[in-house]
Amino acid sequence: MRKIRLNLVWVLIAAIFATGSCKKDDNSPTNLTEDGVYVVGAGTPLVTLDSKGLMYAGVNEVKQKVRTGMFEVYMTVKAGADGFNIVEKAGAVETTYGPLAVVNKVLTGTNDQPNETIQLGTYAENTNKFTVPADGLYHIVIDKTLGLVTIIPVKHWAVIGAATALGWGGETAFPLKGTFDFASNKVEFEATNLKMDKGEFKFRYDNAWKVEMNIPTTSGDSLKVNTNLGGATLDALTPGGANINFAGASRGFYTINVKWTLADGIKVTMTKTGSIEPTNYTAIKFGIIGNCYFKPDGVAKANWNINWGATSLLNHADSLAHTIVPVVTNTTTYTWTWDHVGIVIPEATADDMVFKIRQDANWSGKSIGYGAVTMAGAAAANFSNKDGNFKCSTVGDYKFILVIDALTENYTFTATKY
């Protein structure tokens, strides 16, 4: 019994020291956070360093690659003087950054940017606060290489793409759901009864694809922030990610919700609420748009600025070479044929030879890329996926046939090389 009591005493002593150690860590919460760059401040939900404020590696819209020294995060911020700082933690060293020369910059929607006033400028090692003019959700980006920071308000989210009613020519916006409640640590944007059909789509905010942080006048370090999300699935969305494929079997009406929470960041859910009837393609005209064929004059090359016209590889006119309606069989099977399509090296010779199928001569209707079709034909191996487009590996004179089964929304694209 004496031995057991002695051990108990040592256990109690150890527990006292262990408790003391825990209290010390609690008083130094930065010891519990990993190295990285954080948003922290009384104007945000986080008044001390917290993993929820950790900024993630930024993706430069230029070439859509992760950029060393670029970090970004979405965060709710209250208006007023409290604001926030950006803190870099490296081991026991914490460096606090605040504004140096940050100004309001009015964007007018040019170059696929929002029609919005953002903050953009330089930062330095100081405790001055970054502040915002209104309560809301903000996209905060810092670039250590150039010493730049931007704070972009997020007023609404939207869906855009071939799978939507407006195609790639316009977005369907999700307004703020309810009212902004800073204390709830969440912000939701939602739209209901949205028609989604087979095709590709993406999410973006404030009618924009990007924000330009640095555009050199000659050569130099070009830096652009993605204001769009894409990826393989809704659970794997990334800044500037690939177009999202929407399967024909899933077509219908949906409620789409974009929710930011302090714990999880941006999450998107799509809930099907109704079905749609098969599409009648009888009067729908499809054409070819890209950068790898001649314009109708047979001399200049197209660059996504004109549908493929009446010119083959050898510059001969072709009666089928235009934007055309289909041949209809069995009521719900539709066939479009483009013969003697001359695929050539683009004007910019380093560019890939790429194209898409689109409705009419604009981006407001349906468009079809490589990821939406089943390839067939003797020349199928000459084609692959490049950012959702058809990428051709071999120049030549081709015959293309697109067949759509409207009952299943299955698309077959047959390629034959003469």
Q: For 266-284, how does the pLDDT look when each residue is reduced to its tens digit (9 = 90+)?
A: 999 999 999 999 999 999 9
CA-based Rg of the chain, rounded to a whole angstrom? 27
In contact, 368 and 358? CB cutoff 8 Å:
yes
Q: Are residues 258 and 301 in the same domain?
A: no
Q: How confident is the model at residue 297 (pLDDT cuts 50, 70, 90)?
A: confident
Q: Is residue 219 part of a domain?
A: no
Q: Which helix (H) or strand (E) holds 2?
A: helix 2-27
Q: Are residues 164 and 143 in the same domain?
A: no
CATH code for the domain in which residue 127 is found: 2.60.40
Mean pLDDT along residues 68-83:
98
Number of structural domains in the chain: 3
Q: What is the largest CA-CA distance in the chain?
A: 106
Q: Are residues 36 and 101 in the same domain?
A: yes
In the block, residue with structure tokens 């605040």: 98
Q: Are residues 145 and 161 in the same domain?
A: no
Q: How confident is the model at residue 322 (pLDDT cuts 50, 70, 90)?
A: confident
Q: Are residues 330 and 350 in the same domain?
A: yes
Q: How far is CA 132 from the centre of its chain?
A: 25
Q: Are residues 368 and 406 in the same domain?
A: yes
Q: How far apart are CA 67 and CA 84, in angstroms?
A: 24
pLDDT at 65 exceeding the cut of 80 = yes
Q: Is residue 410 part of a domain?
A: yes
Q: What is the mean pLDDT of the chain?
A: 90
pLDDT at 103 exceeding the cut of 50 = yes
DSSP letters for 24-49: HHHH-GGGGS-SEEEEE-TTSS-SS-
- Which residue, among 402, 400, 403, 392, has the nearest Cα to 418 in the 3D structure? 400
> How many angstroms separate the Cα of 137 from the Cα of each of 43, 75, 331, 345, 352?
12, 6, 49, 45, 38
Q: What is the pLDDT of residues 194-245, one digit of tens each?
A: 999 999 999 999 999 999 999 987 777 899 999 999 999 999 999 999 999 9
- Which residue, among 138, 159, 172, 174, has the nearest Cα to 237 in the 3D structure? 159
Q: Are residues 53 and 171 in the same domain?
A: no
Phi and psi at 169, nearest 5°, equal -85, -10
Q: Provide CB contacts within 8 A for 74, sequence distance 6+.
A: 137, 138, 139, 140, 154, 260, 265, 266
What integer pLDDT is reported at residue 32 of this predicted model? Answer: 64
For 384, the token pair is: 């692959």
Q: Is residue 8 part of a domain?
A: no
In contact, 380 and 393? CB cutoff 8 Å:
no
More confident of the two residues 297 and 41: 41
Query: Of 2-16, 26-40, 128-142, 284-298, which one has max mean pLDDT?
Result: 128-142
DSSP 3-state of 259:
strand
User: What is the pTM assigned to this prediction?
Assistant: 0.84
Q: Are residues 80 and 97 in the same domain?
A: yes
Mean pLDDT along residues 148-164:
97
- Of 154, 189, 217, which closes a domain? 154
What integer pLDDT is reported at residue 95 of this predicted model? Answer: 98
User: Which residue type is seen at 324?
Assistant: I
Q: Are residues 396 and 321 in the same domain?
A: yes
Q: What percent of the chain has pLDDT over 90?
A: 83
What integer pLDDT is reported at residue 27 of this predicted model? Answer: 40
For 169, the token pair is: 């020519």
pLDDT at 251 exceeding the cut of 50 = yes
User: What is the distance in angstroms between the CA of the first residue and the CA of the last residue of the chain?
Assistant: 96
Q: Provide CB contacts within 8 A for 371, sequence distance 6+.
A: 200, 243, 245, 385, 388
- Which residue, among 247, 197, 251, 277, has the nearest Cα to 374 in the 3D structure? 247
For residue 93, the cross-strand partners are 90
Q: Is residue 9 part of a domain?
A: no
Range of weakest confidence among 14-23, 33-42, 379-388 = 14-23
Q: What is the pLDDT of residues 354-408, one digit of tens each?
A: 999 999 888 999 999 999 999 999 999 999 999 999 999 999 999 999 999 999 9
Q: Are residues 268 and 292 in the same domain?
A: no
pLDDT at 150 exceeding the cut of 50 = yes
Q: Are residues 332 and 239 in the same domain?
A: no
Q: Is residue 214 part of a domain?
A: no
Please list, residue by residue across 43-64, b when 16 or more beta carbons sit within 10 angstroms of its beta carbon and e when fewer do: bbbbeebbebbbbbebbbbbeb
Q: Is residue 24 part of a domain?
A: no
Q: How far apart are CA 157 and CA 259, in angstroms?
A: 10
Q: Is residue 397 part of a domain?
A: yes
Q: Is residue 10 part of a domain?
A: no
- Of 107, 134, 154, which closes a domain? 154
DSSP tag of 233 = S
Q: Are residues 147 and 162 in the same domain?
A: no
More confident of the two residues 239 and 10: 239
What range does the domain containing 313 cover? 286-417
